Structure formats: structure tokens, C-alpha cells
A and B are shown apart, each in its own frame.
Chain A
Amino acid sequence: MLEVRRSDVEYPDVEIVMKINGELKKVKVKPYERLIDVLRNKLGLTSVKEGCGRGECGACVVIMDNRPVPSCLVLAVRANGKSILTLEGLAPEGKIHAIQKALIDVHALQCGFCFPGVIMMSKHLLDNNPDPSEEEIREALDGNLCRCGSYLRFVKAVKLASKYLREGKTYFDESEVLR
């Protein structure tokens, strides 16, 4: 019979520093702790969704140092010193980003669980390719599963967002969308 937990003895806490949505955050984590759990449970950033825990569904995608990563497959210690963007940090208070506006415009929303990942992935695409073709959009979002099947609207929305961005419209007032 074990006297103490294996996890306590073998894995003491580690302190890491990350820049999250523009703000420096210090967090104590276990060496085996996943970035997704730190973001969700320790920092309250619950836009990051866990759909599979194996990097297969795309719901937990965040942008780490300008690269999209499934945060369920990233150990928190590996995020030490990195800059991370989640959906919460995509637009200033009271505003929404062009991609969010476009997804609402084309009525893409169903259950919404895959959306945070889809939005982050789309942002990464548009950051690197301001005017993607339909094929490029499908290629970029191939790792984001949407079981409600809003796929065709994702294609439309990314095209529309690309138009907004090229017109210089990055952010929209939330109140404008609510009408």
C-alpha cells in the first residue's frame, strides 16, 4: 500500500509565465498538466473546449506564438515564456472580430461547441493568407470537426471575413450585430 500519492512525490509544482491575451500570467502547474486545463480551470478561459483530448477534433485550438496548437496536446510547461491567444482575447471589450461578425452574418451557429477552435483556426488562416480560395479554407479547417454540420457556412464566413478585413474592418461594435 502506498503511503503517498505517486503524483505528489514524483511531480512537484512548477511555476510558469505566459503572456495570455496580452497579459502576463504566472501560474503554478504540475509537470504533467495540460495547457487546456490550466487555461480553463486555473485561468477561467472556458472558450477553450475539450472535445477529445487527443488533438483530433480541433475544439481546443489556441494560437501559441503565432501558431495554432491543440491545447490538449501541449503540456503547460511547454507554454512557459510563450504568447497565447484564446477566443477571449480576439477582440477588445464591446467589439467582435470580423470572423465572428461573418459567422453571425451567415447564420453559421448551431451548438457552438466547435466555434472557438474554428474561429482561432480561421484567424490564423487569414493572418497568413488574406484572400484564401475555397479549397484553401477547406484545407485549413479540415481539423475542426463540427458535428452539427455548419461546414458550408464556415466557408462562406471565412470568405466574408476576408472581405471585411481587406476593407480594413477588423472589429465591429457588438451592438451593431445585435440589431
Chain B
Amino acid sequence: MYMSSVPEYIKIVEEVFDKFKGREFLYIGKDVRRWDAVEKIKGKSLYTADFLKFYKNAVFVHSVRTKYAHALIKSIDVSEASKYPGVLKVITAKDIPGINDVGYVIPDQPLIADRKVRYIGDIVALIVAEDQMIAREAESLIHVEYEPLEVITDPLQVVDLMTLKEKPHTLIHDERGSDVLVHYKVRRGDMEKALREADVKVEGVYKTPFQEHAYLEPEAAIAIPEAEGGVTVISSTQCPFDVRKAVAKVLGVPLNRVRIVVPAVGGGFGGKEDVANEVAAKAALAAVLTGRPAVSIHTREESIIGHSKRHPMIAWYRHAAKKDGTLLAVEANIVMDTGSYASLGPFVPWRATVHATGPYKVGAARIDTKAVYTNNVYAGAFRGFGNPQVIFAVERQMDLLAEELGMDPVELRLKNILRVGDETVHGQKLTEEHGVGLEEALLKAVEASNWSSKRMEYRKAVGPLRKGIGVAIFYHGNSIGVEGADYSSVTLIINRDGSISFRTGLTEFGQGSTWGLVLIAAEILGVPPSYFKVENPDTSATPDAGPTVASRATVMGGAATVIAAHKLRKRLNEVASHILGCDPEDIVIKAPEVYCGSDPNRRTVWQDVVEQSFWLGIPLQEFGYYRAPRAVWDEETGQGAPYITYTFGAIVAEVTVDMETGLTKVDRIYTAYDIGRVINKVGAELNAEGGAIQALGYGLMEELIHDKDGRVMNPNLSTYYVPTIKDAPEIIPIWVEAHYRKGPLGAKGFGEPSFNAVATAIANAVSHAIGLPVYELPLTPERIYMMLKKAGKI
């Protein structure tokens, strides 16, 4: 049968891992400057909207959005607006040549609403005009007749938390016949027996908010019409191949007529996974219908009301344990609000479900997760992807359990965490090959923070300023698991002058993912990173590398890089061996030097090896493709092996809470992560800091609020608060390297894990400081003040 044996690429990744074991590295794990540092620091890097200066005859696309969050569209009249001077075209649903849909996972999201609108960001028409001012002026001339429907902003209007049954309500997706998007389950062990044997049980209902990505660069796309009905789109996206698919679908043309180029991207964090499809499709439509370059740029307000958010969660949890702290059972009903459209909603709750018991040995588990539609802004991917939400519930529960048992929270966790040889709640056995560094991470974070004495000392405090210390631990499945085909690719081209072109369809949106891949290639080839030029992702220049999501760039793209670099290195060794007369295995490349290891006097230079390869007819370009081992998941029981491996982490946070105002200041965060081999040291440190600061916002201040009509109450950066430089606490990064043998040189993913447990560690610290349990994020001053007031503490 096809592919019945282990593919060559899997073997290469393991072979290279074994080969480099214990070796001293030149670039991996070292301080190396980014390739784009100087360009960016000089302000010369071009982001999507910057290209506008090159297109003097570009037209602007303005989105006319709905007045109501839930309504039927009775009629739409654009005739007056179409005649407004300077307006080239008004596009409505009927003008779309292809399929009117930009749904990311399922086709439930029209690009331009036709029959009904489902949230306040829905678009009813696009005005294409000579400039933005004209387009805005013309907006008042568009007449839409709506029949408003009941607006649902509370997911518990759709399902009941305790029974998870759908309630009678005005259907948002009436075409589906139900507003429950997905239901995922985990069933393990004998729940009744576990509950019978339990000495203690703790339960609680936990709530987490909508979170806005607030990447500094709002969404943008510029489309240039091309021959044969095609289009080139410059797009601020994480996933150029998904954008290509969406644009081709809307235009009704084959994929090869659409070219997507991704220049510098000003942040993504998951948010530029699917809205980029919509924005690119809008620009592409306008370009094709007017024959001129077309630009679609969202204002900040449009960005906030018109792109995906982190899913809010409401969850009921019950934990049962023995007197000695042994965890016996976890039960949970989890409701996630996916908002008006599915977006990544079919996948986010799956990741939440997989991680719903935390990184613990659990004998019995029953988890039910439902994601439901509401008329809120749609929810999708955001750094962590469902995991931060359940971590909040699980790690709060663990603290409650510790308190109930009179145990130290760290002691309780150490008693139950996953180690090598243990089975996850899905029955996946963790081996040495996966790399399991959770215990080491927890112990190191505890030691560095001086946990024990602070935990005792802080509780004794009196007066208005109270200190607290909290811990939270987590695991995070790497890459996309059973969500889809999990592959990646890169192309390495050694040019005639010895310089190297690096191409991949993975994108770099700030956190340095591509840089790690260059370090891997540099290490294996034996050339300095300065020889490389990282090209912009371009769907016409590189094969599909899969999306840049799910902390997969380093682990998946890195594996593809290992393969391409390894194959090239083999050929270079043979050419050098031909020149120098020693064995290919004996060749040392430290470009520009190339010599025989056994006799360093027999030497030549890199350029000569490249030139000789050319004359010998040895190709110096290589395509690396890697596909992850298949993940396994039983839909009915949640048993299997959902992810290839896991990143682990332990966070300790220290806070000071003002008992009179409820204001929390985070003093210090210790972040201990097991990410396998640290490939890109600088990138890892930046991620640890940046993820922690973003999560501090999630823990203390960030919450997108809808009113009862589904309008967003805080659609800009003066009302939706994100951390500023004044909020940034001291952050102490700690690394644990439990290598993953099937990863590139032992690496695991880190993009999302840096966010995952920080807000919860802060919440646990706040709880410690104020002496009250917390059940809801964010812990704004108001929320803490009200809790203190209710408890009679002030």
C-alpha cells in the first residue's frame, strides 16, 4: 500500500537529531541577529499598506456594514450611491462572480451578506471609489431595508450549561437548523467508581472574556488585476495559501490565476488567519471589476468589530481526589461562544477539549464541550487556541482542591503531573521520544521564585497593599493534530555566487519563526546566517507550506528545513570530497572555509564548492517536505493520540493588590518552559516576554464588551485596554530542554505556549493576595473591588 513504510523524511529528521546529539552548535541556541533587523529599524521594511505609494491610480474599497447585529435583509438599493461622482462601482452579493463565501473551515460566512446579517460587522455592500473620503460620503446614499430579529449575545441563551441541551431561540444560522456548531467529548475510566472513592470534591463555574488581538497593523490588502481574469494580492496574512483559496473561490477562477505575496506583517497572533481572506477578497473583487489596483485597509474600529476574537468560555468543572491529593476524576461542561460565524470555531473547542484536564494523570474523565453561535463578533484563532480558557478553569480548580486538602498548590501538582511513561487523559503514552520536561519546569520555577517562603509570608500581610504568589502549569499539543493535513515545506537555493535564497510559504509576523528555520539550515549546511536571504512568502514562488498557526512553524517548517539542508549538505560533501580527495563524511564546512576534518591543510572555499557543483551538474537547490505522523482521535471517547508531542510549562506570578481600589500590579513572572531544543534563543526569549505581557492583559484588563443589541462598546484602543510599557513586569525566562526526537534537532513549538498559563498564574496570585477564590477573567479593579465588597473585606 502507498506510504505503508516509514517515509524517508521521517527517517532523515531522526537521523539528523541523533547525529547532532551532544554536539556544540554554531548558531542554534545562540544570540544571532534577525535578517530583517536593520531594514525594520530604519523604517524601510514595507508592510502591505506601504505599497500604496507605488500605485498612484489605486481605487479604495470601503465596506458598508450592517446597522443591526441580527436582521433579515428585505431590500438593498445602491443606485444612488453608484452615481455619486468618484464612485466607480458599488458591489453587492449579486456581483460576485464566484462563490459568495469566506468561511475558513465551513462555508457559513458570506463575503457580502445577501439574505441576512448575523453580527454588527457584517458587510452589505462594498463601495469602490477614487478615494476614501468619496466612499464614505457615498455610504449615506445606500439604502438597506432590514427586518430586525432577536439579538442573542449570551451563549447560555442557546444552550444550558448543566445539560448542554439546545434551548428554543431565534436561530442565527437557520439554514443549519441548529446554532450548536460542534460537540466534543472525552470519556475515560469509571466515573461513578471514582466519585464514590473520592474523599474531596471541588466545583466551580469559570468565565473568560472575548479578547481582541490588537495587532498594531490593521488588516490590509492591495490587489492588482492580472491577465486571464487573475489577480496579484499583497496581503497582511499568516496563511497566504488560504488567502489564495478564498480569493480564487470568490472570483471563480482556478488557484493558479491568483498570486498572494506577503510582505512584512505587523503582528498576527492568530487573528490574521482568516480575516485576511475577507480583506484580500474585497480588494481582489474591486480590482477585477474595475480593472485598477484596489486597496482595502481596515480602520482600527473596523478591525476590532470586524475580525475574529478569542472565544469566551463558560465552564462548569468538578474535580474529585483522594485525601493524599491523588486526582481521581475530572468532569466538565464547557460552552464556547463562537459568535456569528464558525471561523476557526470547529477547531478551537477541540483543542480546548483535548487539554481540558490539564497536564495531569486522570483516572476518570467526562468532558463535554459545545461551541455555539451568537450574534457577537465571531471568534476564531488567538495564540493558545482554546487552551488558555481551560487552563484558567483547571488551574483554579487545582488551587481550590489544594486549599480543600490543606496542601501546598505545588505539592498537589507534583503529585499528579504527567511524566515519561504516564498516559494522558486520551490514553496517549508519553515516552522519552516525546520529551516530557514538566516536572523539571515546575521545580525550576518554584526554586527561582522562592515559592515556599513567599507563599507563607504573603498570606500574613495586613494593610491596603497585599502581595500574592500563584502558580499555573500547562501542556500544549504541537501543531494541528487531527484538525487537518499536517505538512510543511521549504525551498533552499544556493546561488552561483554562494549566497542562499530561503523560501517558504510560512510567514513571519513578528515572533521570528522563519529566523529559526534559517538557523537550522545554517547549522546543517555550515554557512553563517548572513549568507541567507529570506524571501517574502509568495504563492507563485513556493509550494504550499501549510498555515503559520498552531505553534507549528519551528517544529513543522523546521523539520522540512532539516530535510532540504541535509540533502544539500550530502551533495556538497560529495563535491568537496571530489575536490579535496577525502571521504565525504570527513568534509567540514565552516563557510567560507571547507576542509578535510582529518587533514585541515587540504582545504578550499565555499564559493569553489558551489562553482564546481555547477560544472559537475550537481543541483544546488532542494525542496524539503515534511508531514507529521498521523494523529489519532476517537470522536465518541476522545481517546487516541491527538498531537505529535507536547510543549510543557510552569508559570509563577507575583502580584500586589490594592485592597482599597482593587487595582492589581504584577511584580514578577517566572516562566519555565520545556520547548525541547531551543533553536532561536533570541526569538524564544522575546516570545516568553511578549506572550506573558499579552496574557497579563488577558488576566487583568482585556475584555471586548457587546451591548444587548450586539454592538461593540469598546471598539478602539482608548476603550479596549491593552498593556502599555508601564504594565510590563519583570519577567524571568527559564528553559528546560526535553528533546522531541521527531522534531527538528529536538525542537518543540512555542508560539502559543508563551501565552497559555500566565493569566491564570496571575489570577491564582490575586486569589492568594486577597484571600478569595476568583472565577472570572479579567480581574479588573472593578471586579476585584466588588468581590472584596461582597466578601465584607472592605
Contacts and interface: CB of A to CB of B under 8 A. Distances in A.
Interface of A: 1-8, 30, 32, 40-41, 44, 46-54, 56-57, 59, 86-88, 91, 96, 100, 103-104, 107, 109-116, 119, 137-139, 141-155, 174, 177-178
Nearest to B265: A111
20 contacts: A1-B83, A5-B85, A46-B46, A51-B266, A52-B300, A59-B216, A109-B36, A110-B267, A111-B215, A111-B264, A111-B267, A113-B47, A119-B41, A119-B43, A138-B726, A144-B724, A149-B689, A149-B691, A174-B38, A178-B530
Interface in B1-49: 31, 33-34, 36-38, 40-47, 49
A1 B52 CA distance: 31
Given A2-B85, A152-B731, A41 B53 contact: yes
B214 interface: yes
B448 interface: no
B693 interface: yes
B691 A145 contact: no
A8 B84 CA distance: 12
B166 interface: no
A147 B269 contact: yes
State which size class the interface on B falls in.
35 or more
B265 A41 contact: no
A110 B694 CA distance: 14
Interface string B267-302: 101000000000000000000000000000001100
B53 A151 contact: no
Contacts of B694: 147, 149
Interface of B: 31, 33-34, 36-38, 40-47, 49-50, 52-53, 80, 83-86, 133-134, 137, 213-218, 264-267, 269, 299-300, 509-512, 530, 682, 685-686, 689-694, 716-718, 722-726, 728, 730-731
- A interface majority secondary structure: loop
A113 to B, nearest CB: 3
A3 to B, nearest CB: 8
A41 B217 contact: no
Contact of A5 (B33, B47, B86, B716): B86
A25 B266 CA distance: 29
Contacts of A154: 725
B553 to A, nearest CB: 14
Contacts of B269: 147
Contact of B718 (A1, A54, A113, A147): A54
Given A115-B41, A152-B731, A107 B213 contact: no
Contacts of A119: 41, 43
B530 A110 contact: no
Contact of B717 (A6, A139, A145): A145
Contact of A110 (B137, B511, B728): B511
B42 A151 contact: no
A-B pairs, 6 with minimum CB distance: A47-B43, A111-B510, A113-B266, A149-B690, A149-B693, A112-B40
Given A54-B717, A57-B300, A87-B43, 16 more contacts: A7-B137, A50-B49, A104-B33, A107-B33, A110-B510, A110-B512, A112-B45, A113-B217, A144-B724, A145-B724, A146-B216, A147-B215, A147-B269, A150-B690, A151-B689, A151-B725
A114 to B, nearest CB: 5
Contacts of A150: 686, 689-690
A120 B264 CA distance: 20
Contact of A114 (B85, B216, B299): B216
A119 to B, nearest CB: 8
B45 A87 contact: no
B50 A46 contact: yes
A150 B691 CA distance: 10
A133 B83 CA distance: 59
Nearest to A59: B216
A49 B300 CA distance: 13
